[in-house]
Amino acid sequence: MIDLGGRVALVTGSSRGIGRACALRLAQAGCDLVLNYLNSGVEARQLAEEVRQMGRRAALVKADVSEPEDIEAMLAFVQNQFAQLDILVSNVATGAFRPLLSTSTQQFNSVMGTNVMAMLHLVRGALPLLERSQGRAKVVAISSHGSDQALSHYGLIGASKAALEALTRHLALEIQQKVNLNVVLAGLVETDSTRMLGTEAFRAHTSRMMVGGRPLQADDVANAVLFLCSPLSDLVQGQTLVVDGGAGIHGS
């Protein structure tokens, strides 16, 4: 069993979807939680209540991770309320499905700002706390197959995910001894951001999965995140762990 009792974790974008599942997994393992959200205050408060019912502390922070000032204020809140941060899950991503050839500079910069630069701001700002962690601190980012496959109308988000993975590897090199930084690359999970792809997309993904015999769930992703947040992964550094039931390596 993974016991993360006494550790404090911040999960960005935890009001819904994969971020929510990650927050619950970490709370089940014993973490106190800082839950970041932007618009879904009701869902975020419900999640905080669930975490508290598990006997953990839960603090809510409304912050737009695309805004460096918001990240700064969120980390100042963590310092004031907890004076500790051991785990950071950088989960938020943005971006519409559109062809790269009709993507504006503004759209490009906005997606890169939220999906890539936010991770750098978060890690840079959180480093003083992470370095004081008892044991190794853990940072996990969430990626997708857009980083290693060409997917229809996914070029901008895909490019941002490739950049996110490269950024994580280079941060791992720069930070070295103090912190583990890794990525979980998830296959297709039905959430609010993917539901519009339609049942055929999910059926096709599930049919390429070699294991599972069921659609991929946010909890499957959260399980991998939990591993990378635990001492079991202390010697895993700068890696991208793929959780897709083997769909991504299944030849057609």
Ligand X SMILES: NC(=O)c1ccc[n+]([C@@H]2O[C@H](COP(=O)([O-])OP(=O)(O)OC[C@H]3O[C@@H](n4cnc5c(N)ncnc54)[C@H](OP(=O)(O)O)[C@@H]3O)[C@@H](O)[C@H]2O)c1
* Cα–Cα distance, 148 to 115 (Å, whole number): 16
Q: Which listed residue (4, 8, 91, 179) binds ligand X by CB under 6 A?
A: 91
Smallest distance, Å, CB 184 to ligand X? 8
Q: How many residues bind ligand X (CB under 6 A)?
A: 29
Smallest distance, Å, CB 243 to ligand X? 9
The pair phi, psi for residue 66, each rounded to 5°, is: -80, -5
**In whole angstroms, what separates CA 205 from the centre of its chain?**
21
109 versus 132: smaller Cβ distance to ligand X: 109
Smallest distance, Å, CB 92 to ligand X? 4
The length of the chain in residues reads 252
Smallest distance, Å, CB 46 to ligand X? 12
Q: Which value, to the nearest 10 degrees, does the dihedral of the CA atoms of residues 76, 77, 82, 86 take?
A: -60
Q: Which listed residue (4, 10, 16, 209) binds ligand X by CB under 6 A?
A: 16
* Cα–Cα distance, 187 to 208 (Å, whole number): 11
Residues 129-188 contacting ligand X, CB under 6 A:
142, 144, 186, 188
DSSP type of residue 36:
E
Would you count residue 93 as binding ligand X (CB under 6 A)? yes
* Cα–Cα distance, 32 to 14 (Å, whole number): 14
Residues 196-235 contacting ligand X, CB under 6 A:
none
Q: Which residue's entry shows tokens 């997606």?
A: 111
Smallest distance, Å, CB 119 to ligand X? 10
CB hemisphere CA count around 166 (13 angstroms): 9
Amino acid residing at 6: G
Give the active site residues.
154, 161
Would you count residue 66 as binding ligand X (CB under 6 A)? yes
108 versus 136: smaller Cβ distance to ligand X: 108
Would you count residue 111 as binding ligand X (CB under 6 A)? no
Q: Which listed residue (104, 192, 207, 211) binds ligand X by CB under 6 A?
A: 192
DSSP for 77-97, please give it: HHHHHTS---EEEE-------
Q: Which residues bind to ligand X, rule: CB under 6 A?
A: 12-13, 15-19, 36-40, 64-66, 91-94, 114, 142, 144, 186, 188-189, 191-194
